[in-house]
Amino acid sequence: MQYINLGQSGLKVSRLCLGCMSYGDPARLPQPWSLNAEASRPFFRAALESGINFFDTANIYSGGSSEEFTGRALNDMARRDEIVVATKAFFPWKNSPNAGFLSRKALLQSINDSLSRLGMEYVDLYQIHRFDHETPVEETMEALHDIVKAGKARYIGASSMEAWRFAKMQHVAERNGWTRFISMQPQYNLLYREEEREMLPLCTDQGVGVIPWSPMARGRLTRDWSESSNRTQNDTFARQMYLNAEEQDRKVVEVVARIAENHGVPRAHVALAWLLAKPAVTAPIIGATKLTHLATAIDALDFSLSDEEIAALETPYVPHPVDGVVPPLSDEPLTITPPRR
C-alpha cells in the first residue's frame, strides 16, 4: 500500500480510502442497499489487511448505523493509533430545529453523537458535509476549532461546495487564528470534472488534500451503459446524477472499456488510474459491496495510463450542470434531501 500526507498536514493516509456509506442497517434510510453488520465486517478486515488505514463515514449514513458498524469493526480489528477515521456532519438527523446543519449547537451535538456511535474518543478528520447558508461562517469555523481544541477531532475537512465559499471559510479561520481545513471531499470522476475549473486549482494552491467521492460515477464507469445493479435500481440519486449529458457520458464509458480491454484489466483500474494521475488528488474514496470491488481497487494502484490514453479519456467530456452542492435556502419551509456521498 502507498501512503501520502493529507494536504500540508502531517497526517499520512493510504492512497485509497474505504467509504463506509455501504455499511449500515438496510432498514434505516436512505441507503436500502447497505450491508448489515455481519456482512460488512469482511470488508473492514480485507481493507486493513491490504494496508488501507483511511475510513470515511458520516452521521447521516443509514440513520447513524454506518458509524456504529464502522466503529465496532475497527475497534475490534485495529489499533486506534494505526487508523485514520473520518466522519461528517451537516444533514439533519431528525425533523427538529437545530438537529442538523452547521450551527455551534448542532456541531457540538453532532460530534458527541458520532463519537458515541463510533465508540471512540476522537475522530481523525471531522468534515462538514455541505455548506450551511443559514449559519455565519465565523460561528461554524469557531465551533470546529473548539472541537479540535477539545480533543474530539484531530483535523477538519469540508465537502462539496463552491470554491469561493471554501476560500472564504479558510480565510475566516486564518484571520481569527482558528483551525483550517486540511481536506476537501468533492465529487470528481471521468463523468463529472467540473471541480477542475476552480476547486482543484484552489486546493493545489493552498495545500489542501483532495479525497474525491464517487470515483466510479456510481458504478457507471465499471460496466456497459445498459447494465444496472441493485444499487442503481434503488439509488434515486444515481439515476439523477448523470442524465444531463447521457450521450456524451456514454462515449467516455466506451473509451474506458476500450482501454481496459486493451490492457486486459477491469474498467475500475482505468477510472482510478486516471484519478490517481491528477496531482491534486490524495485518496479516492472507494465504495465496495463485493469483496472483488475492494480487491480490484487495490490492484489498480499498480496500473497506470499513458498520456495518450489520458487524452483519449478526457476528449469526449462536455461541461455538466453543477451537482452535489446545496443551494441557498428559499423562503419555503426547509427540505433537505439525504446526501449522495
Catalytic center residues: 61
**Which residue type does 17 have?**
C
d(Cα 220, Cα 236) in Å, to the nearest integer? Answer: 14
Which residues are within 8 A (CB) of 74 and not within 5 positions of it... i.e. 6 or more apart? 44, 55, 83, 85
274 touches 190 (CB < 8 A): yes
Give the three-state DSSP class for 55: strand
Q: Which three cell numbers stand for residue 114?
A: 458520532
Cell of 12: 499520512
Closest CA to 185 of 58, 335, 100, 50: 58
Q: Tell me the C-alpha distance between 213 and 194, whole Å.
A: 13
**N-term to C-term CA, the chain:** 24
Find the length of the chain.
341
